[in-house]
């Protein structure tokens, strides 16, 4: 799926998010925080009753976006926010910016490379994804919308 800059932040979705489950956390911007982010997301999705495919896809997208924020920014902390809305789950990873504060983009030829496939995977698993400036004015938010289904469907 192609990236976009048009998605509103979770806090600006016209108030509809409040009726659906959502959660957020921040972790230090270290590589060792990536597994912790995955664990937190996994536990949250289990609590919400997400089916296994959703859990696998969301964990992978969070892992890739969180890793990118750690590797490609000068952040001290990275934020992760998840929210259900209808048949979708929104993932938002917020960084604090850095020297090369360019928008994320898929690297040419990244499909076959060991490194640099993260955004290709995000694009393949999500219905839409993109980035926008962080609400704080420093850094950016990279977001992805994935299909959501629960075990009770």
Residue 7 φ/ψ, nearest 5 degrees: -80, 135
The single residue listed with the structure tokens 């917020």 is: 94
Q: What is the pLDDT of residue 19?
A: 62
3-147 to CATH, choices 1.25.40.80, 3.30.70.270, 3.30.565.10, 1.10.357.10: 3.30.565.10
CB 24 within 8 A of CB 126: no
Cα separation, 2 vs 37, in Å, equals 25
Q: Write the pLDDT tens digit of every residue in 6-24.
A: 554 544 443 334 467 899 9
pLDDT digit string (tens) for 46-83?
Answer: 999 999 999 999 999 999 999 999 998 999 999 999 99
Cβ neighbours of residue 44 closer than 8 Å, sequence gap 6 or more: 23, 82
Q: Is the pTM value of this prediction over 0.95?
A: no
């Amino acid at each position: 799926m192609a990236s976009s800059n048009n998605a509103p932040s979770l806090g600006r979705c016209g108030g509809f998010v409040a009726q659906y489950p959502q959660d957020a956390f921040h972790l230090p911007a270290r590589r060792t925080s990536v597994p912790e982010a995955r664990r937190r997301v996994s536990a949250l999705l289990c609590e919400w009753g997400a089916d296994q495919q959703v859990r696998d896809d969301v964990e992978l997208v969070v892992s890739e976006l969180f890793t990118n924020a750690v590797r490609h920014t000068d952040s001290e902390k990275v934020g992760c926010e998840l929210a259900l809305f209808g048949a979708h789950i929104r993932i938002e990873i917020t960084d604090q910016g850095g020297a090369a504060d360019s928008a994320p983009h898929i690297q040419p030829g990244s499909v076959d490379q060991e490194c640099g496939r993260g955004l290709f995977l995000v694009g393949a698993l999500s219905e839409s994804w993109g980035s926008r400036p962080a609400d704080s004015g420093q850094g950016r938010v990279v977001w992805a919308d994935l299909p959501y289904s629960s075990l009770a469907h």
